[in-house]
């Protein structure tokens, strides 16, 4: 199948890994060396907020670094559509910010693009999708559009569905959101607007459960994953990994994926998990640019130590850490990205990707150059 063949042949840049000197010389020095960072991803100003029924929320931030510039979104997704034939076709009369906003059906596309990856950050739902970069070699290939739109439609479905509803035990709703998003993305990228691509998908939805007597409410996170992106829960108090998703593969270097010519579907292949949380647990959503370069113990250690360092800095500056906690999670995400990028650019480093390649009999060493995206969120209870 085309999607799987493209994934296997091109995504890992095997030639560059075997010839590290070529990779170092080929680096694009015109781009920023700093990660792309932020707090919650943009939300349309003209829509009323739809709060989650959960008494808990995510204080979250994100960071990402692209191995190469993302392929620009094609029309009609890069600007608002004209309302009638009398509207000007040019957008030069619009503000720069308005022309830059990617839209679908006249609505802002949620999330942020990082190379071929996409991330989504809100106080109830986070996600990280990994678009298959090999589609850039196809005339009508646009993997970042697939990864971003699926996250966008997941966010819209979650808002309309009340983030799982008021009742506990609504874990299956998350797979429903992903399935709805997949169908809407296929429809949006077909016909006259056909664009090819595939993407992995991972989502984490914060919810709650009640104890037997119904008096105590505890946080839970519903996790849905398809492919080799990863969701991980770290408990800083105990410095341990509470939960991590398992990667899904068809074969080496070919994970399950949604999109053009792929047989995978959310209903048939997404793995759903329910994880009981404690307040202050860290939930991470990451693409394989992280997990192919860092072992899970390194990711956990980086998350815990960077958050501790940020708290110490807040104390030294006499700042309210609770009010600025999202900034702390952005710092955590940035530190994980920097750690993964350090390995990705080292031709002699040991890495999980190298270990798996050697097990397959491939002479590959060093890190793996890829888009690197992280969402870091900490579970907190809402005041009042």
Tokens 């035990």 found at: 169
Give the range with max mean pLDDT: 16-20, 85-89, 171-175, 338-342.
Answer: 338-342
What is the full DSSP assignment across 99-165? Answer: HH--EETTEEPPSEEETTEEEEE-SSEEEEEEB-GGGGGSTTB-HHHHHHHHHHHHHHHHHHTGGG-
Distance CA 357, CA 243 (A): 25
Mean pLDDT of the chain: 85
Distance CA 188, CA 202 (A): 21
Assess contact for 207 and 177: CB atoms under 8 A: no
% of the chain exceeding 70 in pLDDT: 84
Spatial CA neighbour of 148 closest among 240, 42, 252: 42
Assess contact for 225 and 205: CB atoms under 8 A: no
pLDDT band, residue 98 (cuts 50/70/90): very low
At 78 the pLDDT is: 72
In this predicted structure, the answer to whether residue 262 has a pLDDT above a threshold of 50 is yes
* Tens-place pLDDT, residues 117-142: 999 999 999 999 999 989 988 999 99
* Tens-place pLDDT, residues 36-81: 999 999 888 877 777 888 999 999 999 999 998 888 898 888 743 3
At 22 the pLDDT is: 30
Q: What number of other Cβ atoms are within 10 A of residue 227's Cβ?
A: 31
Furthest-apart CA atoms within the chain: distance in Å: 64
Residue 100 or 213, more confident: 213
Q: 199 pairs with which residues across the strands?
A: 131, 258
Mean pLDDT of 346-360: 93
- Alpha carbon 190 to its chain centroid, in Å, reads 24
At 93 the pLDDT is: 40
Q: How many CA atoms lie within 13 A of 300 on its CB side?
A: 17
Distance CA 121, CA 230 (A): 15
In this predicted structure, the answer to whether residue 32 has a pLDDT above a threshold of 70 is no
At 46 the pLDDT is: 77
pLDDT band, residue 85 (cuts 50/70/90): very low
Distance CA 205, CA 164 (A): 8
Q: What number of other Cβ atoms are within 10 A of residue 242's Cβ?
A: 18
Spatial CA neighbour of 138 closest among 189, 65, 79: 189
What is the 8-class DSSP label of residue 286? Answer: E
pLDDT band, residue 214 (cuts 50/70/90): low
What is the 8-class DSSP label of residue 343? Answer: H
Spatial CA neighbour of 11 closest among 129, 115, 132: 132
């Amino acid at each position: 199948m085309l999607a799987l063949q493209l994934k296997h042949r091109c995504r890992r840049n095997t030639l560059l890994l075997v010839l590290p000197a070529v990779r170092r010389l080929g680096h694009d020095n015109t781009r920023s060396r700093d990660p792309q960072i932020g707090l919650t991803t943009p939300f349309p100003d003209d829509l009323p907020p739809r709060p989650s029924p959960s008494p808990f929320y995510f204080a979250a931030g994100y960071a990402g670094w692209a191995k190469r510039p993302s392929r620009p979104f094609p029309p009609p997704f890069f600007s608002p559509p004209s309302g009638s034939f009398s509207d000007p076709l040019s957008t030069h009369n619009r503000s720069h910010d308005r022309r830059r906003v990617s839209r679908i059906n006249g609505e802002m596309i949620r999330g942020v693009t990082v190379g071929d990856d996409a991330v989504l950050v809100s106080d109830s739902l986070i996600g990280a999708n990994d678009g298959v970069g090999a589609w850039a070699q196809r005339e009508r290939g646009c993997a970042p559009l697939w990864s971003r739109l699926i996250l966008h439609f997941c966010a819209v479905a979650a808002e309309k569905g009340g983030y799982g509803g008021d009742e506990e035990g609504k874990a299956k709703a998350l797979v429903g959101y992903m399935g709805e998003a997949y169908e809407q993305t296929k429809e949006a990228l077909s016909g006259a607007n056909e664009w090819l691509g595939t993407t992995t998908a991972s989502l984490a939805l914060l919810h709650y459960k009640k104890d037997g007597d119904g008096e105590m409410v505890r946080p839970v996170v519903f996790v849905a994953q398809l492919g080799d992106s990863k969701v991980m829960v770290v408990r800083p108090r105990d410095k341990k990994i509470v939960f991590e998703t398992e990667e899904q593969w068809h074969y080496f270097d070919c994970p399950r994926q949604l999109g053009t010519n792929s047989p995978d579907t959310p209903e048939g292949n997404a793995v759903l998990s329910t994880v009981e949380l404690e307040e202050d647990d860290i939930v991470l959503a990451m693409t394989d640019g992280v997990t192919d370069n860092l072992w899970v113990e390194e990711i956990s250690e980086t998350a815990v130590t960077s958050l501790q360092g940020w708290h110490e800095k807040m104390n030294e500056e006499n700042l309210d850490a609770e009010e600025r906690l999202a900034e702390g999670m952005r710092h955590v995400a940035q530190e994980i990205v920097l750690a993964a990028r350090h390995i990705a650019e080292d031709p002699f480093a040991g890495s999980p990707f190298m270990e798996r390649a050697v097990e397959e009999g491939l002479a590959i060493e060093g890190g793996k150059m890829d888009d690197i995206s992280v969402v870091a969120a900490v579970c907190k209870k809402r005041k009042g």
